[in-house]
Structure formats: structure tokens, C-alpha cells
């Protein structure tokens, strides 16, 4: 099958309602059959693609995030962020962004960020004078920080595909994640100048200042523990995920006493469902990727290296454009599994730093979570706020433009990405 036939088959299956994992697996099986490969290849690739030590980290971080979220940590972080920003105009909007930065160090996913913070901010900010659309737009836009600041589930998937260090990806994501936060804050600032925004704070939980600070510091210690522990060589990123689960369980059950036995069981069930769906997508994509590589179907795409010879910056802008378009149809995880194996060899051929390409790719792909028709964070926020999708997307456009600008800065100024990872070598 040609590359165009493969993608036509895949999108046809998606359009008729097939789950992404099934669409990938069936397209891969059809490609293998047309290529004359033995069908035993399908189950073999399914299992071998998951036989990866790096992927073992994913369920740990997913479970740790679920434990923290169900243990009342979200309310503590929101209250702490609100008290820090309550003195400025647009304080609740800035608190929304700051809480997303904090929460990113726990959840590792944008969807969890939108769902957890949205319940409080999307319903609470309108009572202070914000429009419901603006409150939802800030929540969705700032949730894009979740998969970038470590720990990050999507980075674990990318590391398994690109065969790069997970910890270097985690470190490389710190500055880009903060840059996304600044981009969102800039939109809030300009909105305040143009329209005016109210002061005030959202108090999600009633706690004394000292207790709030202590509990917040305990929560903030988790991502610091993961990054510093792996950098020091005390443990691997996968082992850090297991330790983070134990830490989150002890913190929620015995220190903060906010995590019940029922909450722990619900966190386990949710983690199993999330991990299972993630692994099914990875397994399905591995079959398709293998067939395309072996048959040489993507070799023509790699000839693009010659078009961008001597101009790696132009290639990175090309990647940004491709992923923005792909984001209207594919979720970030699928983009990593399908497009990274195609674009990575070109990037390496042009001499682009591995971490710079990874961050541009991941940040560009993450934007698909806030663009219709597959922008799941967009739909989650719209459902929470009972807002029409069209009005939601119009409110998000300024934030989308600001985040594209932030990614452009990473393209033209690679040191923003490479500085911290280079210190780890």
C-alpha cells in the first residue's frame, strides 16, 4: 500500500467511528497483508512494542497523578495559587495559569488538568465578573502546560519511539512549559488592558496560611524529587514513577488524610483504564509503523531532507505547520506514534538537536487538544461550563496564537530548550 492509501484507510476508519487503537491496528494489518507479510507479524509486533522498560514508567505516573488528584491536592494548589495572585487585576485568571503550572508537576496530562481545575475555575471565575468563555479558555490554554512540565506521559511515549533519554526530556520540558505559562499570562495581561479584569481570589478550600504553605511544599516536592533523584543517578525515571506512587499514597492517606480507601481504589481503576487505552494505541501504531518502514513507503517523505538542507529552522517551522494541521484530526499520542518516526530521520539528517526537535514536536502536537474537532480539552471545558464549542474556540484563539508564538521562540532560540539538558551531561 502507498502512503496515501494507508492514511486514507486510517482516516476512513476513524470517520466511521472506529476507536483510534482499532483504526491503527486494522490499517497496519491491511498494510501487512497487501505487502505479503505473514499475519503472525501482527501479534508479534503488538507484544514486542510494549516490551519496553521506558513504557513501564507511564502507569506509575498516571497512578501517582490520580492519587494526588483524588486526595484533595487540586484544591490546595488552587487556593495557594489564588492567594499568590489575588492582589493584581485578573488575579483569578493568573491563579488559573499558576495552578496549571503546579498541577503539571503532578498529573502529566492536559486532560486531567482541564477536568480537575475546570470544575473550580470555569464555575468560580464568572461569579467574580469574568465571562464563562474566558474562564474556560484560560483553563484549556493553561492545561497545555500539563504534558510539558515533568513528569509527562506523552514524553515517555516519545522517548520509547525516538529512543532518547526520558530524564533529558523531562529536564528539557521545564523552560518550554514555563514559556507556555508566560504566553497565557501575556494574553490575560493584554485582555486586562483592553477590557479590564477584576481583582479577587478563588478559595477552593479553607486552610490557614501556614498549613496551606506546608501542604503545598509537600506537593511541590514530588516533581523536584523525581527530577533531582534521576539526575543524581539515585534511580531511573521508571523507578522514580514507582516511588512517586508510594509518596503520593503516603501523603494522601497518612499525612494530609484526604485520600480514602475508596478514592485509592477509584484511582487504581482509572489508571488501569487510561494505561490500557494508551498501550492499545501504541501496539496498533507499532504494526503500522513497522510495515511502512520495512516496505519503504515513507522513504519518499524522508527525501524532504534535501529541500531543507542548510536551513533546519525552516524545517522546524514546517514541523509546526504540519502538526497544527494534523492536530485537527489526530491526538498528540497518535501524532508521536505515526509522524515522529517519519520526521525524526529528517531532523537528525539536518543536525537539529534531539531535545529541540522533541520540544517543538511535542508542544506543536499538544495544541491539538484545544482545536476542534478532536480537541478533547476543548470539549471537556465546554461540557463543564455548558458553552457552545464555536464560542469556546473563538475565546481560545488569542491563547492559541500566543502559544504558537512561544513555540516559534523555541525554534529560533534553541538554547531555551538545550540549556538545561546540556547541564545534565
Q: Looking at mean pLDDT, say which of 15-29, 70-84, 107-121, 399-413 comes out highest.
A: 399-413
Q: Write out pLDDT tens, residues 191-235.
A: 988 888 877 667 655 666 677 788 778 777 777 777 777 777 778
Cell for 404?
504558537
Count Cα neighbours of 258 within 13 Å in the Cβ-side half-sphere: 16
Q: Write out pLDDT tens, residues 319-368.
A: 999 999 888 878 888 888 888 888 888 888 888 999 999 999 999 999 98
**In this structure, are residues 372 and 328 in contact, taking their beta carbons and an 8 Å threshold?**
yes
pTM as predicted: 0.87
Cα–Cα distance for residue pair 362/57, rounded to 1 Å: 18
Position 310 scores a pLDDT of: 76
Supply φ then ψ for residue 314, to 5 degrees: -65, -40
Average pLDDT over residues 141-154: 89
Amino acid at each position: 500500500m502507498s502512503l496515501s492509501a494507508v492514511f486514507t484507510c486510517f482516516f476512513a476508519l476513524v470517520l466511521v467511528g472506529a476507536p483510534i487503537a482499532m483504526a491503527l491496528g486494522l490499517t497496519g494489518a491491511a498494510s501487512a497483508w497487501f505487502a505479503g507479510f505473514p499475519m503472525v507479524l501482527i501479534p508479534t509486533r503488538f507484544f514486542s512494542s510494549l516490551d519496553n522498560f521506558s513504557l513501564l514508567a507511564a502507569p506509575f505516573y498516571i497512578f501517582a497523578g490520580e492519587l494526588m488528584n483524588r486526595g484533595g491536592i487540586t484544591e490546595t494548589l488552587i487556593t495557594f495559587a489564588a492567594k499568590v495572585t489575588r492582589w493584581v487585576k485578573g488575579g483569578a485568571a493568573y491563579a488559573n495559569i499558576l495552578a496549571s503550572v503546579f498541577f503539571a508537576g503532578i498529573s502529566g496530562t492536559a486532560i486531567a488538568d482541564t477536568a480537575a481545575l475546570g470544575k473550580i475555575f470555569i464555575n468560580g471565575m464568572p461569579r467574580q465578573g469574568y465571562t464563562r468563555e474566558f474562564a474556560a479558555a484560560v483553563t484549556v490554554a493553561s492545561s497545555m502546560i500539563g504534558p510539558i512540565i515533568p513528569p509527562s506521559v506523552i514524553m515517555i511515549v516519545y522517548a520509547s519511539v525516538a529512543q532518547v533519554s526520558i530524564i533529558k526530556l523531562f529536564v528539557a520540558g521545564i523552560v518550554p512549559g514555563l514559556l507556555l505559562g508566560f504566553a497565557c499570562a501575556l494574553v490575560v495581561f493584554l485582555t486586562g488592558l483592553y477590557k479590564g479584569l477584576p481583582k479577587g481570589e478563588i478559595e477552593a478550600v479553607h486552610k490557614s496560611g501556614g498549613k496551606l504553605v506546608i501542604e503545598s511544599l509537600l506537593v511541590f516536592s514530588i516533581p523536584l524529587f523525581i527530577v533531582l533523584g534521576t539526575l543524581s543517578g539515585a534511580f531511573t525515571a521508571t523507578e522514580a514513577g514507582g516511588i512517586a506512587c508510594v509518596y503520593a499514597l503516603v501523603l494522601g492517606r497518612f499525612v494530609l488524610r484526604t485520600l480514602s480507601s475508596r478514592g485509592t481504589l477509584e484511582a487504581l481503576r482509572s489508571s488501569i483504564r487510561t494505561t490500557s487505552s494508551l498501550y492499545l494505541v501504541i501496539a496498533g501504531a507499532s504494526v503500522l509503523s513497522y510495515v511502512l518502514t520495512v516496505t519503504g513507503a515513507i522513504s519518499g517523505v524522508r527525501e524532504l531532507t534535501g529541500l531543507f538542507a542548510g536551513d533546519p529552522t525552516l524545517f522546524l517551522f514546517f514541523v509546526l505547520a504540519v502538526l497544527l494541521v494534523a492536530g485537527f484530526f489526530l491526538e498528540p499520542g497518535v501524532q508521536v506514534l505515526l509522524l515522529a518516526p517519519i520526521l525524526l530521520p529528517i531532523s537528525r539528517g539536518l543536525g537539529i538537536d534531539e531535545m529541540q526537535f522533541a520540544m517543538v514536536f511535542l508542544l506543536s502536537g499538544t495544541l491539538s487538544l484545544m482545536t476542534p474537532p478532536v480537541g478533547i480539552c476543548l470539549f471537556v471545558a465546554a461540557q463543564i461550563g455548558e458553552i457552545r464549542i464555536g464560542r469556546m474556540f473563538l475565546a481560545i484563539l488569542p491563547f492559541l496564537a500566543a502559544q504558537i508564538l512561544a513555540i516559534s521562540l523555541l525554534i529560533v532560540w534553541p538554547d531555551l530548550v538545550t540549556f538545561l539538558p546540556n547541564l545534565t551531561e
